Structure 1
Amino acid sequence: MMQTPTPAHAGPAILPLAGSSGSLLERLFKLQAHGTTTRTELIAGLTTFLTMAYIVFVNPAILGDAGMPKGSVFVATCLIAAFGTLVMGLLANYPIAMAPGMGLNAYFAYVVVLGMGLKW
């Protein structure tokens, strides 16, 4: 009887539980059913993080121009991005990262607050 070879890049199961079939990540996200591996998902997550990391610096700068405290906006941006991403991953089982929309923030800061003279 021939065994199916394991791909060379497939690493060991992560966080296996006693008496369980597969890793915690496999059971939670059904990686094999979606045709992916833990390694692929970790690389994708790191890539997404690096792509979106600028938001935690640019968002406070934009909203700071409207008079909002930059430190508070920084913390709020980090918290809401983490919360939104966790909800999408854990509840919806959908690999989408969430963060504040930069276009709407710029519109609010530069058109509504600075352009129209309204207070934030």
Structure 2
Amino acid sequence: MLDILVQDREGLTGPVKNVPIQVPTEDKITVRDLIVTRVRAELSDGNHDVAVSAASRLDQRSAEQHAIRSFTENGLFVIVDDMQLTELDQLVDLHAESLVEFLRIIPLKGG
């Protein structure tokens, strides 16, 4: 496994939250798998060894689907090493020094 630090941000000026995740040491990972890995890390509070109960798995699957839908509807941007990723099946070459950013877009109130 490869340890990577993901920077989460809401909007362009929101505070940055650094979240450690582990990705497979394979050369490349799809954007979809990167999003799912990030969601799982958030749900397990960064402890990747926590066993997930059946009820939690349903919540996890729902959270994964929500994050993927947000990405496809431009509510979530994924940026790796200053390059915006645009396709779920796009392959990403990650290394220990990669800068991975998840930028959640906040809709404007009233329109």
Q: Name the TM-score class by shorter chain.
A: under 0.3
Question: Which structure shows the higher strand fraction?
Answer: 2
Alignment TM-score, normalising by the size of structure 1 = 0.26
Alignment TM-score, normalising by the size of structure 2 = 0.27
Question: Which structure shows the higher helix fraction?
Answer: 1
